[in-house]
Amino acid sequence: MLETNGQRLWDSLMAMAEIGATANGGSSRLALTDEDAAGRSLFVQWAEAENLTISRDAIGNLFARRAGRDDVPPVVIGSHLDTQPKGGRFDGVLGVLAALEAVRTLNENEIETVAPIEIANWTNEEGARFTPAMLGSSVFTGAMTLDDGLAREDANGQSVAESLQATGEAGATPLARKYDAYFEAHIEQGPVLEDNDKTIGVVTGGQAIRWLDVRFTGKAGHAGTTPMPVRRDALFAASAAITAVEEYVAGIDGLLATVGEFHVAHGSRNTIAADVHFTLDLRHPEDDVVDRAIDTIRARFDERLPSRDVDYDLSLHWRSPALPFDETCVRHVRDAAQGLGYAWQDIISGAGHDAFHLAKHCPTAMVFIPCADGLSHHEAESIEPEHAKYAADVLLNAALARAGHV
Amino acid sequence: MLETNGQRLWDSLMAMAEIGATANGGSSRLALTDEDAAGRSLFVQWAEAENLTISRDAIGNLFARRAGRDDVPPVVIGSHLDTQPKGGRFDGVLGVLAALEAVRTLNENEIETVAPIEIANWTNEEGARFTPAMLGSSVFTGAMTLDDGLAREDANGQSVAESLQATGEAGATPLARKYDAYFEAHIEQGPVLEDNDKTIGVVTGGQAIRWLDVRFTGKAGHAGTTPMPVRRDALFAASAAITAVEEYVAGIDGLLATVGEFHVAHGSRNTIAADVHFTLDLRHPEDDVVDRAIDTIRARFDERLPSRDVDYDLSLHWRSPALPFDETCVRHVRDAAQGLGYAWQDIISGAGHDAFHLAKHCPTAMVFIPCADGLSHHEAESIEPEHAKYAADVLLNAALARAGHV
């Protein structure tokens, strides 16, 4: 199988990291700022050196196209160049520059493909400057209207439309153009590959996600004058409930539960808590498992709470269904990893990616590589240079298989 | 046994409640404000009508003395007239006006006592305007220096000294004068008497109190990409720890545990909590039991936490030793309740009272009556008029037994 040039890819990653470089070795290129524009400009310069055709759409998504033999929908490969305020050097960037490296390799090997191959850089994937995250791919695929996307404002009240105007990053390429397929390479942002000694994750899809709000209501009382048996302590009830959730989840393979926020209303050292609210994030590759988890959690609360004389309310804040990737595209990724002899495993994506929007638009798959200690959204984000090359190799061969070698 | 005039006491309570009356039936007389000064002034008017001698000390504690046959240290009865910002009509006020009612009853029965009987109204018991609570009795008994007490400032930067100047409530009566004994009547501020169908609580002392800070430190991680077995979730660890505390405490008679505050540093729905802090308030009538509880809690944490790879720190924020009241004074209260034929029980005071400072200065005891649903520090605080009379009756007979009927 064809292999990319690891040193050239690493040099490009390091050159891009210089734009918006932070004191602690990370990068800061918030979407549609001067730094992001400078990063895009460097990418365009590299892409033009490869004779790629540059275009932009109305939400600022940036494309670099390598013509195919036929004028058919392209096989698209890419990710995003924007970062968190104190982001790492690889989240998103790897996917765009691995795509560039794949095209460079096609060029130097003078390989013609049947379908065009196009690199995509999606606008505002991070959601750090404008909400929501994945805004560019959202508007491209129609999950969000263009007007809505353009109207989003940052914390200073500057809109996406104004920022596109200021950076000159908007263009006329139609939204929702037909794609043959989409492949995205990304760092895992979790510890699974590293823990399993694998260098390639063949991503089979995204998890089902449920965000729940849980509120316990008891009765306030004086910490010194209220005997334990008559208390209606909302915090003790909430703690026991969280422990019950933890115990249940531990018995279901692949089910994830996170209580990330916990608030006591009018909290005071010597007052029994009457009003406690916490968040619960539940995830699993299958919708059924998550929905059954919610039912079971409710049942356990119903079973255990009456003796406490504490009320609870469990409400769904956000539901994101499981999203399996296209089986053919996944197989292209798996075959590439296998053919190249890299240690691979199937993996579910825990985090969100532009690929999830694209998956509703065209056949899609992703490839992951490990990042040290699973750390991401952090200046210390770190990968092995060799793994970056593996990502580009797999991406190249999967895209080539899909686009067709003339 | 002598009985007081229940209607007269209730009328006085209702008249005092008019000063600083709140929309929802409570009272608002923050210490040394115009409202507090007006309340004190009404009390002085009533006391002077009974030929009592008014005096004040340097921290604004207000005294009304009924002479005895002998010029010996007085038997002091009282409490406080200041309230919470939205306080009830009985917390503190009952103790001062029951004392007044006791003296009125002595006067109308022309009873001479061997020792003088003196009513005390302690400055800033609530701690709502100036910290700490029980400031006046604290300075009187020497637990706090006068300079420290005078320098305390409210939220607007006005000091106790300035407020005493403005209200004219400071005087020259010496601090730390010798007392023969101190008796205080108060609402229970808890549900025990009501639940046990008792109308008088013979208070045998104050509980041992420990305020602890507990911090759990784990590791942050992405809610979607971090498998459960490798997580170091500080919040799950804290919840399990709190449940362990609750289970342990349930097995120890009279031990109280309250987690009133709970904070997740940088809490976010989809981030595993790395840093959780909660408070723990532990109380029991005996110091040994509370200290053993802390040791046991540490041992249980040490036993269970290693499997979670989460660190904890448990530190003592405040230690208040158990304070048994004087056995003779307690017996006077018990004998009065028994002699009057009221349904009584011994009880421990869960809340703090001026009587705890006085107990270090002279033989001391307290009498409790029920308050509806244990509710206090609330505009809806409520008692039965009949119970107010019982409080005054017991206070009167206990003080009389101590002071000696000529």
The pLDDT tens digits of the residues spanning B137-148 come to 999 999 999 999
pLDDT of residue B377: 87
Chain segment B317-333, per-residue pLDDT in tens: 888 899 999 999 999 99
pLDDT bin (cut points 50, 70, 90) of residue A318 is confident
Tell me the pairing of strands B181-187 and B364-369. Answer: parallel
A257–B268 C-beta distance less than 8 A: no
Mean predicted confidence (pLDDT) in B191-196: 95
pLDDT bin (cut points 50, 70, 90) of residue B266 is confident
Give how far B282 is from chain A: nearest CA, Å: 8
Sign, CA dihedral A384-A390-A396-A399, equals: negative
A222–B350 C-beta distance less than 8 A: yes
Q: Which of B227, B236, B270 sits opposite A246 (nearest CB)?
A: B236
Best probe of the A interface among B192, B194, B210, B269, by most A CBs < 10 A, is B269
**Residues of chain A found within 8 Å of residue B187, distances taken between Cβ atoms:** none
**Interface membership of A235 toward B (CB under 8 Å):** yes
Q: Is B91 labelled a binding residue?
A: yes
Same fold, B6-206+323-403 and B208-320: no
A246–B235 C-beta distance less than 8 A: no
pLDDT bin (cut points 50, 70, 90) of residue B226 is very high
Enter the DSSP assignment of A286: S
A266, pLDDT greater than 90: no
ipTM of the complex, rounded to two decimals: 0.84
Q: Is A377 labelled a binding residue?
A: yes
Q: Is B266 labelled a binding residue?
A: no
Task: Using CA coordinates, name the residue in chain A closest to B229.
Answer: A250
**Residues of chain B found within 8 Å of residue A190, distances taken between Cβ atoms:** 221-222, 224-227
Q: What is the CATH number of domain B6-206+323-403?
A: 3.40.630.10
The CATH number corresponding to A210-320 among 3.40.228.10, 3.30.300.10, 3.30.43.10, 3.30.70.360 equals: 3.30.70.360
**Interface membership of B320 toward A (CB under 8 Å):** no
**Interface membership of A20 toward B (CB under 8 Å):** no
pLDDT of residue B95: 98
Mean pLDDT of chain B: 96
Q: Which of A189, A226, A272 sits opposite B225 (nearest CB)?
A: A189
pLDDT of residue A320: 87
Enter the DSSP assignment of A373: G
pLDDT bin (cut points 50, 70, 90) of residue A61 is very high
Mean predicted confidence (pLDDT) in B83-109: 97
A348, pLDDT greater than 90: yes
**Residues of chain B found within 8 Å of residue A240, distances taken between Cβ atoms:** 239, 243, 246
Locate all alpha helices (DSSP H) within A109-167, ordered by sequence: 135-141, 146-151, 160-167
CATH class of A6-206+322-403: alpha beta
Percent of chain A predicted with pLDDT > 90: 93
Domain boundaries, chain B: 6-206+323-403, 208-320
Chain segment A138-183, per-residue pLDDT in tens: 999 999 999 999 999 999 999 999 999 999 999 999 999 999 999 9
Mean predicted confidence (pLDDT) in A109-118: 98
pLDDT bin (cut points 50, 70, 90) of residue B62 is very high
Best probe of the B interface among A84, A188, A196, A239, by most B CBs < 10 A, is A239
Mean predicted confidence (pLDDT) in B361-387: 95
What is the fold, at CATH topology level, of the domain defined by B208-320?
A: Alpha-Beta Plaits (3.30.70)
Task: Using CA coordinates, name the residue in chain B closest to A276.
Answer: B262
Beta strands in B48-196 (DSSP E): 53-56, 62-66, 75-79, 117-121, 181-187
Q: Is A186 labelled a binding residue?
A: yes
Q: Is B253 labelled a binding residue?
A: no
DSSP string of B168-230, one letter each residue: T----BPTT---SEEEEEEE-SSSHHHHTT-SEEEEEEE-EEEEEEEEEE----BTTTS-GGG
Mean predicted confidence (pLDDT) in A213-230: 94
Task: Using CA coordinates, name the residue in chain A closest to B375.
Answer: A221
pLDDT bin (cut points 50, 70, 90) of residue B306 is confident
Mean predicted confidence (pLDDT) in A188-194: 95
**Interface membership of A380 toward B (CB under 8 Å):** no
pLDDT of residue A366: 98
**Which H/E stretch holds residue B346?**
strand B344-349
Q: Of A50, A142, A141, A47, which is closest to residue A96 (Cα–Cα)?
A: A47
Rg (CA), chain A: 24
Enter the DSSP assignment of A113: B
Q: Which amino acid is at A122?
A: W
Mean predicted confidence (pLDDT) in A226-233: 95
Residues facing A277 on adjacent strands: A215, A263
Q: Which of B188, B260, B276 sits opposite A269 (nearest CB)?
A: B260
Mean predicted confidence (pLDDT) in B51-72: 98
Give how far B134 is from chain A: nearest CA, Å: 16
